[in-house]
């Protein structure tokens, strides 16, 4: 949901933002894919198991997501917290984000707080990167993107929703090109 957070900050406080890069999301309310609920189920199983290694967590998550790249992305939220002031690490991995709150928020997580692009706009450069196999930025929302973000560029990357994880080099190239000084 980083893209929606970035868009919201840009529209709310444009003085704090030079430009934005939104990855596979648009300034519209969108229903999350059913895979997100499945991911939360798998992540909760990992939490309940009290795993001590990423490989053990990956084995638990595999039935919920077959794609290794997506699993690695999801498991990137695991960490080994310190359990005492001396810095002794916990024997078990824990998620940085509270899964219960995430699970309860899924119905509204795809919402966007602004509905009228005539009331608020971001008049600075904006890059929208969309995955060609994803459904989160359909062609029909491109005009709305232009209304909220009139200086936007759109780049399609051969990937699903997890653009950065699935095609990091194409994403990197799109960002570098966008950030090049313009004449």
Structural domain boundaries in the chain: 2-30+110-179, 35-105
3-state secondary structure at position 175:
helix
**Partners of 59 in the beta sheet?**
none
Q: How many Cα atoms within 13 Å fall on the side-chain side of residue 77?
A: 16
Residue predicted with more confidence, 168 or 82: 168
Question: Taking the complete model, does pTM exceed 0.85, yes or no?
Answer: no
Tell me how many degrees the CA angle 117-102-137 measures, rounded to the nearest 5. 35
What's the CATH number for 2-30+110-179?
3.40.50.1820
pLDDT above 90: percentage of residues in the chain:
67
What pLDDT digit, counting tens, does each position of 138-164 carry?
A: 999 999 999 999 999 999 999 998 899
Q: How far apart are CA 161 and CA 135, in angstroms?
A: 8
Q: What b/e readout covers 93-129, taking b as 16+ CB neighbours within 10 angstroms?
A: bebeeebeebeeeeeeebebeeeebeeebbeebbbbb
């Amino acid at each position: 949901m980083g893209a929606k957070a970035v868009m919201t900050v840009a529209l709310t406080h444009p003085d704090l933002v030079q430009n934005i890069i939104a990855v596979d999301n648009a300034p519209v309310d969108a229903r999350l894919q059913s895979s997100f609920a499945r991911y939360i189920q798998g992540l909760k199983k990992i939490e309940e198991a009290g795993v001590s290694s990423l490989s053990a967590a990956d084995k638990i998550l595999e039935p919920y997501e077959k794609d290794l790249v997506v699993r690695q992305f999801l498991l990137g939220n695991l960490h080994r917290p310190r359990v005492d002031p001396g810095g002794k690490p916990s024997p078990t991995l824990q998620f940085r984000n509270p899964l219960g709150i995430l699970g309860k928020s899924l119905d509204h997580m795809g919402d966007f707080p602004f509905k009228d692009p005539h009331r608020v706009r971001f008049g600075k450069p904006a890059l929208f990167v969309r995955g060609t196999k994803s459904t989160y930025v359909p062609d029909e929302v491109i005009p709305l993107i232009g209304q909220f973000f009139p200086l936007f560029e759109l780049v399609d990357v051969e990937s699903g929703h997890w653009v950065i994880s699935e095609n990091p080099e194409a994403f990197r190239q799109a960002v570098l090109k966008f950030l090049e000084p313009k004449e």
